[in-house]
């Protein structure tokens, strides 16, 4: 356990008194680590920090598990004085200010997209136990549900479900169905846009004979707004008044932003978190239920995934539909290999794979990342770290791709700034 934590966090942390904390010794007691991503200059972080301090203090004083949990602050501060002042408010250790490489690795590994964020991970394996620790602090202030691990979807969603005619049903309506769990709100313009598309997708899938149902989990700010928004929807919803169940579903799926559409199979296992992208990319629903594909063609609707972690992008000289197929076939074997490896470990893949032709989207990406105009061009782009890795060779073969990917994963490549 300690060896894994040393690999994850480094050999030394630092506390508010500027003293070093030995990770090897710390890890010998722990079963759970809360990685707290934040910044001293961020207002919501300062608010959450006060709540977390209260939660932490109570847990350490009264919980029977007090010795098995530790919080570690992972700062995105750029100013050391600000970081040090913020650390003074904390009762837990932090990654050293200068260890920016380790911080960025943690951001990417745990798919952190906003701050504040609190991710609880298994101290022995690093696997995510709970992605949305902010809701743990809010909903379980005494820590009675420790260690906050995932429960089956059927258990979490259990209870009355609404139809927009005010009739109710229960989870038996979901049995044997693919399920879309839709986190959305009327006040959110991208949500309303996606809902209009989803209405057509929902009807298309249902008319094709597929067993499919959706459940709306509202983030509206009032019952009235919820009712107005839900009146447009032909699917089911968790009652707005059942805030605890809505919160548990947010926690179960680690929701960090809306709109989010989660697709589940008939057994309640996750198919994809990228329902939003899939629906926009596949308006005719030909690929339903949208199992993850090893290689994606870069488009305006899926370009958002470039910001979710490192992505391999193969740029090629292709303008017409179908001309990207040879490029996809070239990188498909290594993409499938990586997906299978991390799926077996029950971890998210550390690298997404794209092919990009000659279009406005590709041109914008090249301009933004200051890439050469060469084609073919093999790259790995890490937007959150503002780093790129470029393999500019005359011929790109499967062996070249495999070596490039494995060297990146082994941290043998030297990044260039974006």
What would the mean pLDDT of 65-89 be, rounded to a whole number?
A: 96
pLDDT tens, residue by residue, 315-331: 998 776 678 999 999 99
Is 290 inside any structural domain? no
Q: Both 169 and 204 in a single domain?
A: yes
Domain containing 231 equals 153-281
pLDDT of residue 192: 97
Q: Both 134 and 160 in a single domain?
A: no
Is residue 50 classed as helix, strand or coil in its secondary structure?
Answer: helix
Is 231 inside any structural domain? yes
| CA proximity to 93, closest of 105, 79, 75 | 75
Q: What percent of the chain has pLDDT over 90?
A: 82
What would the mean pLDDT of 83-104 be, rounded to a whole number?
A: 95
Q: Both 404 and 358 in a single domain?
A: yes
pLDDT tens, residue by residue, 141-152: 999 999 999 999
Q: Both 127 and 192 in a single domain?
A: no
Q: Both 115 and 47 in a single domain?
A: yes
171: confidence class by pLDDT, cuts 50, 70, 90: very high
pLDDT tens, residue by residue, 19-42: 999 999 888 889 999 999 999 999
Residues contacting 85, CB < 8 A, separation 6+:
40
Q: Both 92 and 204 in a single domain?
A: no
**Residue finishing a domain among 107, 139, 171:** 139
pLDDT tens, residue by residue, 1-19: 568 899 999 999 999 998 9
pLDDT of residue 42: 95
For the cut 70, the answer to whether the pLDDT of residue 215 exceeds it is yes
Mean pLDDT of the chain: 94
**Residue finishing a domain among 250, 281, 312:** 281
For the cut 70, the answer to whether the pLDDT of residue 418 exceeds it is yes
| CA proximity to 415, closest of 386, 384, 393, 394 | 386
Q: Both 329 and 217 in a single domain?
A: no
Is 83 inside any structural domain? yes
Q: Both 325 and 273 in a single domain?
A: no
For the cut 60, the answer to whether the pLDDT of residue 211 exceeds it is yes
Task: Give 169's strand partners.
Answer: 161
What would the mean pLDDT of 300-326 be, rounded to a whole number?
A: 87
Residue 98: other Cβ atoms inside 10 A: 9
Question: 218 — phi, psi (to 5°)?
Answer: -80, 145
Rounded to whole angstroms, how far apart are CA atoms 145 and 149? 9
Q: Both 132 and 7 in a single domain?
A: yes
Structural domain count of the chain = 3
Is 144 inside any structural domain? no
CATH for 396: 3.40.30.10
What would the mean pLDDT of 261-289 be, rounded to a whole number?
A: 95
Q: Both 248 and 304 in a single domain?
A: no
pLDDT of residue 104: 87
| CA proximity to 366, closest of 405, 402, 392, 332 | 392
Rounded to whole angstroms, how far apart are CA atoms 289 and 292? 9
């Amino acid at each position: 356990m300690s060896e894994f934590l040393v690999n994850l966090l480094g050999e030394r942390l630092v506390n508010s008194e500027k003293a070093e904390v030995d990770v090897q010794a710390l890890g010998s007691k722990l079963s759970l680590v809360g990685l707290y991503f934040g910044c001293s200059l961020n207002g919501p972080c300062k608010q959450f920090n006060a709540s977390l301090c209260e939660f932490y203090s109570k847990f350490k004083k009264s919980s029977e598990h007090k010795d098995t949990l530790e919080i570690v602050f992972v700062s995105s501060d750029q100013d050391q004085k600000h970081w040090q002042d913020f650390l003074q408010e904390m009762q837990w250790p932090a990654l050293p200010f200068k260890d920016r490489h380790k911080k960025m690795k943690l951001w990417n590994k745990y798919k952190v997209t906003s701050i504040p964020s609190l991710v609880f991970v298994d101290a022995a394996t690093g696997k995510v136990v709970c992605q949305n620790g902010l809701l743990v602090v809010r909903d379980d202030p005494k820590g009675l549900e420790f260690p906050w691990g995932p429960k089956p979807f059927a258990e979490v969603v259990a209870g009355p479900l609404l139809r927009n005619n005010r009739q109710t049903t229960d989870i038996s309506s979901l049995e044997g169905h693919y399920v879309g769990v839709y986190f959305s709100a009327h006040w959110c313009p991208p949500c309303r846009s996606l809902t209009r598309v989803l209405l057509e997708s929902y009807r298309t899938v249902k008319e094709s004979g597929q067993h499919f149902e959706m459940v709306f989990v509202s983030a509206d700010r009032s019952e009235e707004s919820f009712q107005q928004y839900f009146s447009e929807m032909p699917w089911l919803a968790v009652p707005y008044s059942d805030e605890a169940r809505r919160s548990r579903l947010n926690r179960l799926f680690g929701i960090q932003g809306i709109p989010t559409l989660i697709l589940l199979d008939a057994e309640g296992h996750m198919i994809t978190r990228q329902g939003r992208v899939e629906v926009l990319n596949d308006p005719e629903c030909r690929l339903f239920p949208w199992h993850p594909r090893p290689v994606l063609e870069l488009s305006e609707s899926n370009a958002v995934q470039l910001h979710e972690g490192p992505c391999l992008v193969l740029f090629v000289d292709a303008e017409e539909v179908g001309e990207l197929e040879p490029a996809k076939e070239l990188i498909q074997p290594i993409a499938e290999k990586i997906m299978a490896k991390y799926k077996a470990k029950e971890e998210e893949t550390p690298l997404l794979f794209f092919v990009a032709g000659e279009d406005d989207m590709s041109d914008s990406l090249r301009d933004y990342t200051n890439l050469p105009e060469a084609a073919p061009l093999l790259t790995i782009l890490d937007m959150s770290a503002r780093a790129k890795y470029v393999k500019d060779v005359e011929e790109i073969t499967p062996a070249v791709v495999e070596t490039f990917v494995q060297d990146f994963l082994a941290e043998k490549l030297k990044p260039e700034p974006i």
